[in-house]
Structure formats: structure tokens, C-alpha cells
Structure 1
Amino acid sequence: MKNVTDSFLSLGYWPSAGSFGFNTDIFATNLINLSVVLGVLIFFGKGVLSDLLDNRKQRILKTIQNSEELREAALDQLEKARARLRKVEIEADQFRMTGYSEIEREKLNLINATSKTLEQLENYKNETIHFEQQRAINQVRQRVFQQALQGALGTLNSCLNNELHLRTISTNIGMFGTVKEITD
């Protein structure tokens, strides 16, 4: 390794007019070497670097464009979802109102039906009471009539003797005869 380093050092001391050689003095050659390297890099690497930057720029733009398209699609879906939500809310309100009105209608129908049933039961009760009153009155009349008839028969049987009995029969036959003549 020492031989390689010595050979480079010895090259630096050769006087050469117009020939190419290595200057090992770092302070004297650093700016020149850097400017040469940078010049070569700029000259040859300019196209590669610009292609890399263009490709990167295209990928970034494409990513942004895809993101915008996805954003637009998401906004469109969001708007459709909101429209469906509004429609469902309107339908729910309609069902709710229809349900409430149906409940009210059924409630009124039930109240009316119950009212009619109560009225019919009241009428039936009144008719039953009236019927029972008439039956009780008829039973009382029959008993009074039977008792009056039994009392009258008893009175007649106790007051009637044979002679009065024959006169009553003769009078009734006479009345019957006159009634028959009038009708003929």
C-alpha cells in the first residue's frame, strides 16, 4: 500500500508542461475538482435528474387527480345518501302521521261502537224493565181479578137462594131474547 501512495505522491512532483497530472495539494485543487465534478454531473446528470423530477411530478399530479376524482365520487355518494335520508325521513313522517290518524280513526270508531253498544244495552234494559213491569202489572191484575171474582162468587153464593137464582136466570134470558130480536 505504501508503494501505491508513493507513486501518487511522486506523480504530483513531476513537472509536466501541458500534460495531465494529479495535484495532491488539497487546498489548491479542491475548488477546481469540485467545479469539474459538478460540471460533469450537471452536464450528464441534467437529463436524468430532469426525467426523474418530471416522473415524480407526473406521479404527484396523477395522485392529486385521483384524489380529486375520489373526493368528487365521495361527495356524490354523500349527496345521494343525504337525498335518501331526506326521502326516508319524509316517508317516516308520513307513516307516523298516517299511523296517528289511523289510531285516532280507530279510537273514534271504538268510541262510537262502544257508545252504540251502551245505547243498545240501555234500550234493552229499559225494554226488559218495561216488560217486567207489564208482566208484574198483569200478574197483579189477574190476582186482583181472581180475588174479586172469588169474592163476588162467594157473595153471590151466600146471598143467592133458589128463588133469586131463578129470577136472575129469567131476567138474563129475557135480555138475551131482546138482544136477539134487535140483531135479527
Structure 2
Amino acid sequence: MGERIKSTMDLLIYLQNSHLATGFGFNTNLFETNLINLAVVIGVLVYFGKGVLTTLLNNRKETIVNTIRDAEERYQEATEKLNKAYTRLEQAKAKAEEIRVNGLAQMEIEKQELIKAADEDSKRLEDSKNATLRFEEQRAIEQVRQQVSRLALELALETLKTRLNRDLHAQMIDYHIGLLQSMESVID
């Protein structure tokens, strides 16, 4: 600090001894007065403001360094998160592929089971149809048989009514009585 005072004093002594300070009066040359004023202001700022300016610059430097460091840390964290996300994405893709393959296999199994069940149902329906057809055929045959029997009986009764007279009726009764007697003798 003592050196600054000495340099300021030297400047003032120089200005007194220089040809600029030859007399007392107003200097109307604006350019010269502005240079002197500017030199004085810069000297005062350097002398008194050097510490403040240095502190401000150091603080600004620390702020910038901290900001850069924080940005680098956030970048590293973001990179790590991105890598983890890529890893999870790959795992998810692998899991999705596994699920797809398992789904296709399960779908094929279920398809085969459905085909088998449909074949069994078809066979059961075919058997049921055949049984129903046989039943209906038997029923139709039985109905035809009953109808033929009824018609034959009606025809026989009609024939008997038209052809049966008293003599033929007596012969038939005698014939059947004889049959019954012969059956009775066989049984005894």
C-alpha cells in the first residue's frame, strides 16, 4: 500500500512540474482536461477499487466454476440415468419378446386344444345324429309295422265279414276247439 501512495505522490509532483501546470487558470482544451480527469479517475479506481474488483472477479470466477461443476455433475447424473433407462428398455424388450414367444406357444397349445375339442364335439354330434337317425328309423319301422298290422287286421275282419257265413263260422269254432283240446292233452 505504501508503494501506491508513493506512485500517486510522484504523479502529482510530475503534474506540478510539467509544462501543463505553468500557471493558474482555466484550461479550455476539453480533450486535455478529459484525459487528466480520466487518468485521475482510473488511478483512484485502481488504488481504492483494486481489492473490491479482485474480490468481485474472484467471486464471479468461483460462481462460474461452481456452475460448471454443477452442470458437469448434472450431466453425469443424466448420463447415468440415460444408461439405466437404456438398460431397463433392453430388459423390457427382452421381457416383451419372451412374453410374445410364450403367448404364441400358449396360443398354439390352445388352438390345438380347441381343434381337438371341436373334433370331439363333432364326433359326439355325429354319433348323436346317427343314434337319432337309428331311433327315428326304428320308430318309423314300428309305426309302419303297426299300421300294416292294423290294415291287415281290418282287411281280415272285412274279409271275414263278407265271406264268413254260418257254416264256415261253425267249422272255425270246431277247428279251434280241437286245437285247444289237443294242446290240453299234450300238457297233461
In the superposition, the TM-score normalised over structure 1's length comes to 0.56
Structure 1 equivalent of residue 121 of structure 2: 117
Structure 2 equivalent of residue 137 of structure 1: 141
1:98 shift after superposition: 2.3
Deviations, residues 143-164 of structure 1 (Å, cap 9, x unaligned): 2222222222233333332222
Give, as a single letter, the amino acid of the residue that structure 2 aligns with 1:115. Answer: D
Change (3 A) 1:67 1:183: same
Q: How does 1:2-151 map to 2 (within 5 A)?
A: 7-9=17-19, 72-151=76-155
Structure 2 equivalent of residue 172 of structure 1: 176
Deviations, residues 12-53 of structure 1 (Å, cap 9, x unaligned): xxxxxxxxxxxxxxxxxxxxxxxxxxxxxxxxxxxxxxxxxx
Q: How does 1:148-159 map to 2 (within 5 A)?
A: 148-159=152-163
Q: Which runs of 4+ in 1 moved over 6 A?
A: 55-68
- C-alpha separation in 2, matches of 1:94 and 1:112: 27
- C-alpha separation in 2, matches of 1:6 and 1:130: 145
Deviations, residues 37-78 of structure 1 (Å, cap 9, x unaligned): xxxxxxxxxxxxxxxxxx999999988876765555444333
Percentage of identical aligned residues: 39
Structure 2 equivalent of residue 17 of structure 1: none
Change (3 A) 1:146 1:6: closer
Unaligned runs of 5+ in 1: 10-54
RCO higher in structure (CA 8 A, sep ≥6): 2
Change (3 A) 1:113 1:6: closer
Unaligned runs of 5+ in 2: 1-13, 20-58
- C-alpha separation in 2, matches of 1:171 and 1:104: 81
Q: CA RMSD in A?
A: 4.1
In the superposition, the TM-score normalised over structure 2's length comes to 0.55
Structure 2 equivalent of residue 163 of structure 1: 167
- C-alpha separation in 1, matches of 2:136 and 2:15: 147
1:172 shift after superposition: 1.4
Corresponding pairs, count: 148
Structure 1 equivalent of residue 28 of structure 2: none
Give, as a single letter, the amino acid of the residue that structure 2 aligns with 1:112. Answer: K
Change (3 A) 1:89 1:171: same
Structure 2 equivalent of residue 13 of structure 1: none
